[in-house]
Amino acid sequence: MNIFKKAYCRIYQGVFRLMLPLLPYREPKILKTNEEVASLLKAKGKQSVLLVTDKGIRRLGLTKKLEEELASAGVGLSIFDDVVPNPTTQNVSDCVKAYKEGGCQAIIALGGGSVMDCAKAAGAMVAKPKKSLKQMKGVLKVRKKIPLLIAVPTTAGTGSETTLAAVITDSETRHKYAINDFPLIPRYALLDANLTVGLPKHITSTTGMDALTHAIEAYIGRSTTKHTRQCALDAVKMIFENILKAYNNGSNLQARENMLLASYKAGVAFTQSYVGYVHAIAHTLGGEYNVAHGLANAVILPYVLKGYGRKIYKKLWEMGVYAGLFAESASIEEGAKLFIEKIEQLGREMNIPLVLDMIEQDDIPSLASTAEEEANPLYPVPVLYTAKELERFYYEVKNGL
């Protein structure tokens, strides 16, 4: 990267870091039961609510208890269960239509990251009906209060219940982009481990690794605070202690609860400290090939951490020591490499592939360019890469080099 662009990126990131204490970040208030959700809506005078979810979740009956509780409390309910993986602009428009047709006053997003992305984007469109999603792409383009949003995660991974981001795929171009603004942070989050008990193993593994990626990228970035560093450390420790327990025994409620809390903490960390090139690359693969976001992150993470090299050794060592993965007496280089090996070991034990061979070689320059556009100058990455330099990671992820 030439010296002028590098300076621009670092100055841009430095200004954001200086502004962190002044920005209106907030953490959602945690709810524990469906009854609390119904009581809250009644207390706030919300007579009709839109439940945003997907057909798979409804088929599993995961929305049933909440639906019953809302009915018992006399809260009117409309349901939009057509959310697709990597929600598109058309998907969001359909969700907004359901909100308006139901005369809704609030939104409950019950599902994984895709459901929450769709609900947040729909809320933004309700708040700013004259703006398209593309016009709200980027940072601080919403700037208006959205309808009351309650997030109910059914996976322990995305952390979307804590974040100011909605990631959407353009229906026509298939490009994936993020809308980032403070009104998108849900006001409340219902953390109910019972909703995650029936998750298939591959969802438990990839969403858990998604949370790990959030925590690691937040911690190694250059825009951290004492609070975000502690949240990231706690998340990394909890994930290493619980993800295999949840994967091997899906009915282990304590492990499920710990993973939900770890995901929440990782979400708090990266909402303020941002992510990095792992996410930028993963977003392009999700947009182009519809690769599940958690799976993409899980595969890409070790390659990018190795690519950063010595720049992040100390921080990787710190995370490894805090998580109890090796003794504090390990050298910084040894500990950093052990930390990456532990991530790779988790992947092997949970049958996560080493490569994503659906990547087409001819697509790589375009994908890398899109990833670079997303990441620079916004993401405070430890090492800055140009689009050409990012291409190496696509080749590595495709071929396992």
pLDDT of residue 62: 92
- The mean pLDDT of 223-229, rounded to a whole number, is 95
Residue 47 DSSP symbol:
-
**Measured between alpha carbons, how far apart are the two ends of the chain, in Å?**
24
The yes-or-no verdict on residue 146 having pLDDT over 90 is yes
Amino acid at 209: M
Contact 164, 182 (CB under 8 A): yes
- The mean pLDDT of 18-23, rounded to a whole number, is 87
pLDDT of residue 177: 87
The yes-or-no verdict on residue 401 having pLDDT over 80 is no
The yes-or-no verdict on residue 133 having pLDDT over 80 is yes
| Nearest alpha-carbon partner for 183 in 147, 150, 152 | 147
pLDDT of residue 46: 97
pLDDT of residue 21: 84
Distance between CA 34 and CA 37 in Å, rounded? Answer: 5
The yes-or-no verdict on residue 327 having pLDDT over 80 is yes
pLDDT of residue 117: 95
Distance between CA 208 and CA 354 in Å, rounded? Answer: 16
From the DSSP assignment, how many helices (H) and strands (E) are in the chain?
A: 15, 9
The yes-or-no verdict on residue 398 having pLDDT over 80 is yes
Strands (E), 75-173: 76-80, 106-111, 138-139, 148-153, 165-169
Residue 236: pLDDT band with limits 50, 70, 90: very high
pLDDT of residue 379: 96
- The mean pLDDT of 194-203, rounded to a whole number, is 90
Distance between CA 197 and CA 81 in Å, rounded? Answer: 21
Residue 158: pLDDT band with limits 50, 70, 90: confident
pLDDT of residue 199: 86
pLDDT of residue 85: 85
Residue 251 DSSP symbol:
T
The pLDDT tens digits of the residues spanning 279-289 come to: 999 999 998 99
- The mean pLDDT of 26-32, rounded to a whole number, is 94
Q: Which two tokens stand for residue 194?
A: 């019972």
Distance between CA 17 and CA 400 in Å, rounded? Answer: 35
Residue 157 DSSP symbol:
S
What is the topology classification, in CATH, of domain 199-399? Dehydroquinate synthase-like, alpha domain (1.20.1090)
Which residue(s) pair with 177 in the sheet? Answer: 168
Contact 293, 210 (CB under 8 A): yes
Q: Cα-Cα-Cα-Cα dihedral of 240, 243, 249, 252, to 10°?
A: 90
CA angle 132, 135, 136 (to 5 degrees): 95
Residues of the chain with pLDDT > 70, as a percent, come to: 100
Residue 233: pLDDT band with limits 50, 70, 90: very high
The yes-or-no verdict on residue 299 having pLDDT over 90 is yes
Residue 363: pLDDT band with limits 50, 70, 90: very high
- The mean pLDDT of 279-303, rounded to a whole number, is 94
pLDDT of residue 99: 98
The yes-or-no verdict on residue 175 having pLDDT over 90 is no
- The mean pLDDT of 296-303, rounded to a whole number, is 98
Contact 356, 396 (CB under 8 A): no
pLDDT of residue 166: 94
DSSP string of 264-286, one letter each residue = HHHHHHHHHH---HHHHHHHHHH
CATH 3.40.50.10310 holds for 29-196 = no
Residue 77: pLDDT band with limits 50, 70, 90: very high
Which residue(s) pair with 190 in the sheet? Answer: 31
Rg (C-alpha) for the chain, rounded Å, is: 20
CB atoms within 10 A of CB 65: 15
The owner of tokens 């593994």 is 205
User: In terms of residues, how long is the chain?
Assistant: 401
Q: Which two tokens stand for residue 154?
A: 């059914």
- 187 versus 60: the higher-pLDDT residue is 187
pLDDT of residue 86: 84
The owner of tokens 């050298």 is 331
DSSP string of 374-392, one letter each residue = HHTTTS--SS---HHHHHH
Residue 16: pLDDT band with limits 50, 70, 90: confident
Domain locations along the chain: 29-196, 199-399
Residues of the chain with pLDDT > 90, as a percent, come to: 89
331 burial (CB, 10 Å; 0-12 / 13-18 / 19+) is exposed
Q: What are the two backbone dihedrals, phi and then psi, of residue 195, each rounded to the nearest 5 degrees? A: -70, -15
**In 102-169, which ranges are continuous DSSP H helix?**
113-127
DSSP string of 334-371, one letter each residue = HHHHHHHHHHHHHHHHTT--S--TT--GGGHHHHHHHH
Q: Listing from the earlier edge strand, what are the strands of the sheet with 138-139? A: 138-139, 176-180, 165-169
Q: Structure pTM?
A: 0.90
Average predicted confidence (pLDDT) for the chain: 95
The yes-or-no verdict on residue 192 having pLDDT over 80 is yes
- The mean pLDDT of 313-324, rounded to a whole number, is 98
The yes-or-no verdict on residue 64 having pLDDT over 90 is yes
pLDDT of residue 208: 96
Greatest extent of the chain over all pairs of C-alpha atoms, in Å: 63
